[in-house]
């Protein structure tokens, strides 16, 4: 592979100093128009491009931002949710001239890229941060490295985060079901023990109380956030003979799994059971019956997260953001009809 041309090559062929050439290429106002043109012409001819590493070394910034989407967390790309997020982030990053360095490692090294100077700022999925990661990340944050968490991160982490108001989302779902007359609502939650799941479970419990719905521990089933997981959870509910006339799933995939099982079991949706998904991914609209789902403004979230990071990198101070969710009502929810199972 032929050597790439460098500033030195240009300067020698032009009989100019390297510094002059460098300035000419970045149109420094103090350079004579004539020489600037000479330099640019040759640069174009040789196909010169400044070396990124050398530039990063002297400027002390890589002009890259990192995005960590650990595969472990919620199947990443298999979940359309992440596509949306990536779309939001990447569109802004592109505009700002910061390519994205992407990691999907199951067990991510949150601090490495930043400390190596590989990236100037970092976007992380808050839900993928474990308690074990907190001390390292906190040290980094205290040292002033720009980091933004997407979705809520552990409380102990002093990080700027950008997310949606999940509590309100859960309540919107419950309010809708209550208005339809439902009283026994199941929750197919996320993996037991994940902060993320716990948060929604808390929201669910308090919502039950607020809306005067029945609280019953057997209505709460954990899943692994996949379609199969949703199916398994729903099956468990049915096999145990737990009466319920509506269910809220942790995401649209889980809801689809539940739909599969309800169909198998001959329970009509929404005739006998109402189903609500979460995230309002493209799958929701395609499903049959089309899913009522709690929309998170995912793409917007990605955009806002990137903008926040950029501001942090510019030394501005930035506050965390919580966007509103919205219940998108489709065909999978309907009025409560007293019948066989539910009392």
Estimate to the nearest angstrom the gap between the alpha carbon of 284 and the chain centroid: 18
11 binds a copy of itself (CB under 8 A): no
Residues in a beta bridge with 246: 185, 274
* Beta-carbon contacts of residue 24 (< 8 Å; ≥ 6 apart): 16, 31, 35, 36, 38, 39, 40
Token reading at 298:
């995912």
Stretch that binds DNA, among 17-25, 139-147, 289-297, 304-312 (CB under 7 A): 17-25
84 binds a copy of itself (CB under 8 A): yes
C-alpha to C-alpha distance for 277 and 238, rounded to whole angstroms? 19
286 touches, from a copy of itself, DNA, none (C-beta below 5 to 8 Å by class): a copy of itself
* Beta-carbon contacts of residue 178 (< 8 Å; ≥ 6 apart): 211, 212, 213
Q: Choose, by CB under 7 A, the member of 12, 27, 41, 55 that binds DNA.
A: 55
C-alpha to C-alpha distance for 136 and 112, rounded to whole angstroms? 10
33 binds a copy of itself (CB under 8 A): no
51 binds DNA (CB under 7 A): yes
297 touches, from a copy of itself, DNA, none (C-beta below 5 to 8 Å by class): none
Give the footprint of a copy of itself on residues 61-80 (CB under 8 A).
Answer: 62, 64, 71, 76-78, 80
CB of 12 to a copy of itself, least distance (A): 20
CB 162 within 8 A of CB 305: yes
CB of 29 to DNA, least distance (A): 8
322 touches, from a copy of itself, DNA, none (C-beta below 5 to 8 Å by class): none
Tell me the three state secondary structure of residue 269. Answer: coil
Which positions lie near DNA, rule CB under 7 A? 3-4, 6-8, 15-20, 22-26, 30-32, 34-35, 48-51, 54-55, 57-60
């Amino acid at each position: 592979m032929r050597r790439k041309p460098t500033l030195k090559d240009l300067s020698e062929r032009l009989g100019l100093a390297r510094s002059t050439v460098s300035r000419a290429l970045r149109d420094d106002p103090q350079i004579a128009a004539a020489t600037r043109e000479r330099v640019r012409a040759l640069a174009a001819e040789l196909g010169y491009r400044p070396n990124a590493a050398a530039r990063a070394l002297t400027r002390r910034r890589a002009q890259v931002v990192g995005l960590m989407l650990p595969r472990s967390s919620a199947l990443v790309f298999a979940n359309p949710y992440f596509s949306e997020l990536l779309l939001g982030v990447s569109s802004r990053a592109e505009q700002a001239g910061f390519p994205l360095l992407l990691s999907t490692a199951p067990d991510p090294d949150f601090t490495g890229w930043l400390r190596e100077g590989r990236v100037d700022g970092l976007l992380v999925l808050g839900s993928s941060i474990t308690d074990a990661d907190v001390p390292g990340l906190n040290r980094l944050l205290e040292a002033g490295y720009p980091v933004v968490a997407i979705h809520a991160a552990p409380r102990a982490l002093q990080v700027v985060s950008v997310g949606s108001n999940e509590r309100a989302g859960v309540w919107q779902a419950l309010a809708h079901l209550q208005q339809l007359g439902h009283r026994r609502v199941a929750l197919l939650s996320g993996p037991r023990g994940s902060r993320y799941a716990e948060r929604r479970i808390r929201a669910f419990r308090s919502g039950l109380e607020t809306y005067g719905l029945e609280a019953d521990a057997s209505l709460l089933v954990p899943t692994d956030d996949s379609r199969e997981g949703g199916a398994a959870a729903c099956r468990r509910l049915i096999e145990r003979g737990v009466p319920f006339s509506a269910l809220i799933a942790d995401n649209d995939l889980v809801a689809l799994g539940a739909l599969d099982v309800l169909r198998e079991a001959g329970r009509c949706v929404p005739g006998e059971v109402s189903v609500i998904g979460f995230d309002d991914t493209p799958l929701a609209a395609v499903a049959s019956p089309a899913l009522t789902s709690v929309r998170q403004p995912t793409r917007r979230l990605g955009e806002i997260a990137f903008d926040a990071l950029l501001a942090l990198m510019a030394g501005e101070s930035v506050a965390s953001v919580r966007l509103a969710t919205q219940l998108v009502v489709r065909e999978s929810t309907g009025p409560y009809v007293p019948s066989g199972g539910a009392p």
